[in-house]
Structure 1
Amino acid sequence: MATFWNRRTAIIAGVAITLLGAYYVYQSPTSIAYTMSNTTSSNRVPGLEFKLTQSSRNPPVLLATLKNNADTPYTLLKWGTPFDSAALNTGIFKITNAETGVQVEQMVLQINRKMPPPQDELVTIAPGTEEEMQVVFNKPWMPAQKPAKYKVKAEGDLKGLWDKYGGDLTEDDLNAYIESPFSGRKFSTNEVVMEVH
């Protein structure tokens, strides 16, 4: 009988220690938060910041701003970013109805690009400067309901980014844009509430 109670006490103590240990790990945000933020920031380009603001309600227009806070110039290949002339056809914008939370279904197209990328598909941002681009949300897949509010954010992978001025890029650099120093790095903008009237 005493052996039964000793075994039972040992099992209860083991379960209690396991539960307390799990509770401690679960309640300890330091290591988890540090790892997640470190991973996220390490895959971004230091000093580059994309931002969205609304500049018009009718038609709905968002102003995309790319700011360079670094000490080095950057030249960006616009493809697959808010600066892409085909940005609304590439699926980089996440659009949800601000009231219902329902995501707006977009028509994403497969786009054939001219190689090497022409100069007008590049934008150079000198240190301490910013560039802007207006994106008009006038595609047929946009809901017709007016007035309306939508939460909009852009995110994706950079196709090509060099830490030098555009005039210093060679044709070989442009042909091999996928091998540029920051190709594949993540970008994301703030989330903005876009009003449509």
Structure 2
Amino acid sequence: MPSRAVLATALTVTILGSLFYLSSSSTSTFSPERLAHNMASREYDASLPLSFTLSQISKSSPPSLLITLKNSSPDKTYTILKWDTPLDPAALHSGIFRITNQATNKELDIPRLMLNRKLPPSKEDLEEIAPGTEHSVEVVLDKPWMPTEAAKYKVWVKGTFKGVREGSLAEVQDEVLEKAGGEGWQTGIFNSGSLVLEVE
């Protein structure tokens, strides 16, 4: 039979491991693994009436885009977690942009950064969009990876809504934010289709 010393050591390791797990689970630092765990039981909803379209604002270098999110539902308001969507202030670092030189068909190498998010999200990380309305943001392609020479490019955005909730922003309470990307939230894929971007 195992000695008492061995049993005591095993028990200590088990307790310390449990405490480490609980401590790690309660941290407020965002990790892709934690959000992925929240999303694991969510099914992608292909029927979400939310879509992005692109238009060009400026052709001068650096060029700029107007990215518009439309809610085509006639009667439902949605609240969206902006992370990793074009509405995210860090959108150019999130890997959702695809840009291809139209003449060479060569895709630009756009680096994706690991962003240090905080959980739960704040209400500033959310966007409400009412039935039949649009919300637009301007994105300036001013990063080092964007070529400055005159050319035409095909550009589009493609990714995943990490959290979409039916209802208004005012209805999102703290306990709902705690479950962002999990229970009570939907996920869905967005793909804007391509725009020919001109750089002069």
TM-score, shorter chain, exceeding 0.5: yes
Q: Give the structure 2 partner of residue 73 of structure 1.
A: 77
Query: Hey, what's the Cα distance between the residues in 2 that align with 1:180 and 1:141?
Result: 38
State the superposition RMSD in angstroms: 1.5
Give the 3-state SS of the residue equivalent to 2:175 in structure 1: helix
Q: Which runs of 5+ in 2 are unaligned?
A: 1-43
TM-score in terms of structure 1 length: 0.74
Say whether the 8 Å CA contact 2:164–2:185 is kept in structure 1.
Answer: yes
1:110 corresponding residue in structure 2:
114
Higher-Rg member (1/2): 1
Match of 2:84, SS? coil
Identity %: 42
> Of 161, 167, 170, which aligns to 1:167?
170
Q: Is the 8 A contact 1:153 1:192 kept in 2?
A: yes
Given that residues 162 and 180 in structure 1 are in contact (C-alpha distance below 8 angstroms), is that contact kept between their aligned partners in structure 2? no
**Separation (CA, whole Å) in 2 of partners of 1:154 and 1:180:** 26
* Cα deviation 1:27-56 (Å, max 9, x = unaligned): xxxxxxxxxxxxxxx842432121111111
Aligned partner of 1:125: which letter?
A: I
1:121-160 correspondence to structure 2 within 5 Å:
121-144=125-148, 146-160=149-163
Which residue identity is paired with 1:172?
Answer: E
| TM-score normalised to structure 2 length | 0.73
**Pair 1:51 & 2:53 matched:** yes
In the alignment, is the contact (CA less than 8 A) between 1:158 and 1:182 conserved in 2? Answer: no
- What's 2:65 paired with? 62
Distance 1:56 1:170, change over 3 A: same
2 CA distance for matches of 1:163 and 1:78? 15
Contact 1:45-1:182 at 8 Å conserved across structures: no
Q: Which runs of 5+ in 1 are unaligned?
A: 1-41
Structure 1 or 2: more helix by fraction: 1
